[in-house]
Chain A
Amino acid sequence: MAINLKELSKKSIPLSAGHRACAGCGSIISIKLVLMAAEDPIVCTCATGCMEVVTTIFPFTAWKVPFIHNAFENAAATMSGIESAYVSLKRQGKISGNIKFIAFGGDGGTYDIGLQSLSGAMERGHDMLYVCYDNEAYMNTGIQRSGSTPRCAATSTSPVGRASQGKKQYPKDLTKIMLAHNIPYVAQASPHRWLDLMTKVRKALSIEGPKFINIISSCHRGWRVPVDNALDVCRVAVETCYWPLYEVENGVWKLNYTPKEKLPIVEWFKDQKRFAHLLKPENAALLSAIQAEVDRRWNELLQSCGGTKTS
Chain B
Amino acid sequence: MTHKLILQGNDAVALGAVKAGLRFFAGYPITPASEILHKLVEFPEVKVLQMEDEIASINACVGASLAGAKAMTATSGPGFSLMQEGIGLAHMVEAPLVVVNVQRVGPSTGMPTFGSQGDLLQCRYGSHGDYFSIVFYPNSVSELYRYTMEAMNAAEESLSPVILLSDGIIGHLSETAELEDVTIKERSLKPLGHGNRHFTSLTHTGSYPKATAPSAHQELIAGLAKKTADVARRYVRYEYLPVKGSHTLLIAFGAVSRAAYHFKDHFSIFRPVRIFPMIEDLKEIARRYKTVIVMEMNAGQYTLLVEALLHRPVGFIPLLGGAINLEYIKERIKKCLSGTT
Given known A-B contacts A73-B53, A115-B52, A156 and B41 have beta carbons under 8 A apart: yes
Partner of B109, one of A48, A158, A163: A48
Checking B34, B41, B48, B78 against A72 with a beta-carbon cut-off of 8 angstroms, the contacting residue is B78
- Residues A141 and B78 in contact, CB atoms below 8 Å apart: no
Contacts of A71 in B (CB 8 A): 78, 108-109
What's the dominant secondary structure at chain A's contact region? Answer: loop
Assembled-state Cα–Cα distance A147/B42 (Å): 21
Residues in A whose Cβ lies below 8 Å from that of B30: 141
Chain A CB within 8 A of B258 CB:
no
Contact of B28 with A113 in the complex, beta carbons under 8 Å: yes
Query: How many inter-chain contacts with C-beta < 8 Å in the A-B complex?
Result: 48
Interface residues on B, range: 10 to 19
In the complex, per-residue mask of A52-71: 1 if CB is within 8 Å of any chain B CB, else 0: 00000000000000000101
Q: Which residues of A contact B41 (CB under 8 A)?
A: 156-159
Q: Is the CB of B37 within 8 A of A144?
A: yes
Contacts A71-B78, A113-B53, A147-B52; A142 near B34 (Cβ below 8 A):
yes
CA distance A108 to B53 in the complex (A): 9
How many positions in chain A have a CB within 8 Å of any CB in the partner chain? Answer: 20
Question: Is the pair A142, B38 in contact by a Cβ cutoff of 8 Å?
Answer: yes
CA distance A142 to B42 in the complex (A): 16
For the complex, give the distance between the alpha carbons of A158 and B31 in Å: 18
- The reply on B44 being an interface residue by CB < 8 A is yes
A100 to B57, CA, bound (A): 36
Chain B nearest Cβ from A274, distance in angstroms: 15
| Contact call A144/B78, Cβ cutoff below 8 A | no
Q: How far is the CA of A256 from the CA of B55 in the complex (A)?
A: 38
A157 touches B37 (CB 8 A): yes
Judge if A196 is at the interface, Cβ distance under 8 Å. Answer: no
User: What separation, in Å, do the CA atoms of A158 and B37 have in the docked complex?
Assistant: 11
Q: Give the nearest-CB partner of A144 in chain B.
A: B29
- The answer to whether the Cβ of A202 comes within 8 Å of any Cβ in the partner chain is no
Residue A138 is within 8 A (CB to CB) of chain B in the complex: yes
The answer for the CA separation of A144 and B48 in the assembled complex, in Å, is 13
Q: Is B341 an interface residue (CB 8 A)?
A: no
The answer to whether B31 and A157 have CB atoms under 8 Å apart is: no
B229 nearest CB across to chain A (Å): 35
B207 part of interface (Cβ distance < 8 Å): no
Asked if A295 is an interface residue, CB under 8 A from chain B, the answer is no
Q: Which residues does chain B contribute within 8 Å of A69, judged by CB atoms?
A: 109
The residue in chain A whose Cβ has the minimal distance to the Cβ of B38 is: A156
Q: Which of B31, B34, B48, B52 contacts A113 (CB 8 A)?
A: B52
Q: Can you list 13 A-B pairs with a CB-CB distance of less than 8 A?
A: A71-B78, A73-B53, A112-B53, A113-B28, A113-B53, A141-B31, A141-B34, A142-B34, A144-B37, A144-B38, A157-B38, A159-B41, A159-B42
Beyond A69-B109, A141-B31, A156-B34, 5 additional contacts (C-beta under 8 Å) are A73-B82, A113-B53, A141-B29, A141-B30, A158-B41
Instruction: Across the A-B interface, give the 7 residue pairs with the lowest CB-CB distance, nearest first.
Output: A113-B53, A141-B29, A112-B52, A144-B29, A138-B29, A157-B50, A156-B38
